[in-house]
Amino acid sequence: MKTKTLIITITLLLSSIILYQQTQIQQLQQSIQNINSDHIVQQWLIEHYGVSSIDELVQQKLKEYGVQYAGNPFTTALYPGQLQAENITGMHWYTYKSGSLLNRTDVIAYPEQTASYIIFGEDTDNDGVYDIIYAKNCTTGQIEFQGTDAATVIQHAINQLTNGGKIFIKNGVYVINTEIKPKSNIHIFGEGDTTILRQGDDRNLQAVVLFDSVQNASIQYVSVNGNKDAQTSTNTAINHGIQVTNSCRNIKIAHNHVHDAKNLGICVFGGDSENYSIGVEIVGNIVHDNGRDGIALDDYHSRILIVDNIVYDNPDFLIGTARYVNNVIIGRNLLFFTKVMPTDNPREAILISIDCYNIEIIDNLIVNPEGLNLAKGIGTASSAYNILISGNMIYGTLSNAIEIRGSNLHVCDNWLNGGYVINIHSEAQDIKITNNYILPRSYTGGIALGGANILITDNYIKNPSPTANYGIQVNNPTGAIVTNNYFDPTLPTKIDYVSGTIDVIKGNINYVTENSGSVEFSGTTVSFAHGLAGTPTGVWASFNSTGYGGWTWTANSTHITITVANSGSYTVYWRAEYQP
């Protein structure tokens, strides 16, 4: 009987999560279907994610977050790393280990324990919310705490673990009326999207889950619902989903579903020069429909890992930092909108604020479907420095795919599409733009070139249909070098000189600034095409004999004319340069 009950419980759990996944996948397919046919998008996805379409990528990431169901639940893990599936009617356990489920009926005798406490509940009025919550000690098998307030019961269990331990919260809806505060060495696990921690109406908590001055703690496989529409406070410093604050160390926030917080979804806050958190991992979460940022880092925090998250429909920044944040990796995240955001100032998908340093933004996919209002893909503020932006795909931003204001930035190996794709502002300096595929939106441009000490090399600048306005626009840079780039021959203006010039420009395809050749002629004058991007600023010539008696040249935008003093038959060897 116990085994039958377990099978039914697991089957219902799997069915509900699979249905949620299918709904999510359908929504994502609907919002980004317009770009799946692009061959270049497909190649980028294969190279960076090992999948051939965005649909596959979404399914892959959702499976990493949720249930890995392939048939019989007795041969399939509930989710990556999950170890327990307990029948709460008795001490009957099943543990997934080494590819098979092991029957555990004697918890005390078994050498490996999966949790210190199990939290579960009872819905006495059938409204879908637990009314009585229990905390069972997994060593003794006894229910040690029970009550009508979920946060109180969970916190009681946490407080008993003075030397650390694991809290496993079974599936169900738990109303949270006070903050859940993990202590040091406490690790909270749920059963994925069906373990729901929902903030109570008008509670206006600091955060549903609050890590405060602790170390070596985590929360994984839990759904956090901020219940934003039922919160009345206008204080933007509270009402977050999950928050890390006050000099925490080594915190892991992984594989959670965080949504509908009135302010920030996941945040590392409370930072100053003497009080900041170090070593926070934000991995594999789904974060959406929060009132402000999806994932946010306050001042000074260090050694932050933000990878493999799905973040969408947060109206300010999808991922953003405040000042002085350092040593951060933002990688392999899927960032997008599915609807127009209610904001008068559409923001960046990723923002790196002033004075941040040692940041890597790598292998992210940022998508803005047509008609939605993601203004910019990645933005770096003035005085941010030592930043690598590499391997990202940014598609469809209304304005810049990448906006640069800092220093010591390297933008390389990205696939970029947007309005005025890369914008290098006047305060930017020591910038490298290398080996990017750049596709402007129609009637915009590829690279806006300002700043100081700028290298633009080995990029492929494509022309959309209808056409873009230019490939590179020159806006009074100093120390600019533009070499070995490919300009689409259909671009109406390869380089648009608004103000200033480029110090070194050579080796570019379809924008020739150096050319040479030879031509034979008889008489005193010969005219020939020079193939340069503009009227030559310098022409050099030598002849196959010395009888020409001196020579002069003139030129226009297409041809060079050489005139010699003495009539005869000559071969002239010429070289010309165009330096705008």
Rounded mean pLDDT of the chain? 84
CA angle 439, 440, 443 (to 5 degrees): 145
pLDDT at 576: 93
pLDDT at 82: 33
Mean of pLDDT values over 345-351: 80
Least confident of 10-19, 234-243, 255-264, 342-351: 10-19
**Contact yes or no for 302/55 (Cβ under 8 A):** no
The size of the chain, in residues, is 580
Half-sphere exposure of 476 (CA within 13 A, CB side): 4
**Where is pLDDT greater, at 162 or 83?**
162
**96 — pLDDT class (breaks 50, 70, 90):** very low
| b/e per residue 452-472 (b: at least 16 CB within 10 A) | bbbbbbbbbbbbbeeebbbbb
Structure tokens at 202: 């008008």
**372 — pLDDT class (breaks 50, 70, 90):** confident
pLDDT at 108: 32
Mean of pLDDT values over 334-354: 82
pLDDT surpasses 80 at 72: no
pLDDT at 111: 34
* Dihedral sign computed on CA atoms, order 48, 51, 56, 62: negative
Least confident of 66-75, 144-153, 427-436, 494-503: 66-75
Mean of pLDDT values over 264-278: 88
Q: Please write the tens of the pLDDT for every residue from 126-135.
A: 999 999 999 9
Return phi, psi of residue 34, to 5°: -70, -15
**Contact yes or no for 218/253 (Cβ under 8 A):** yes
Structure tokens at 226: 């901020």
Q: Please write the tens of the pLDDT for every residue from 551-563.
A: 999 999 999 999 9
**88 — pLDDT class (breaks 50, 70, 90):** very low
How far apart (Å, rounded) are the C-alpha atoms in residues 546 and 422? 52
pLDDT surpasses 60 at 13: no
pLDDT at 346: 57
pLDDT surpasses 80 at 3: no
**Where is pLDDT greater, at 579 or 488?**
488
pLDDT at 343: 62
Total Cβ atoms within 10 A of residue 55: 16
Mean of pLDDT values over 499-522: 93
**Contact yes or no for 338/368 (Cβ under 8 A):** no
**59 — pLDDT class (breaks 50, 70, 90):** low
Mean of pLDDT values over 180-200: 96
CA angle 87, 88, 93 (to 5 degrees): 40
How far apart (Å, rounded) are the C-alpha atoms in residues 304 and 559? 58
The one-letter code for the residue type at 293 is: D
Q: Which of 24-28, 154-158, 418-422 has the highest mean pLDDT?
A: 154-158
Of residues 454, 456, 337, the one with CA closest to residue 397: 337
pLDDT surpasses 80 at 543: yes
Of residues 557, 531, 437, 423, the one with CA closest to residue 477: 423
pLDDT at 87: 32
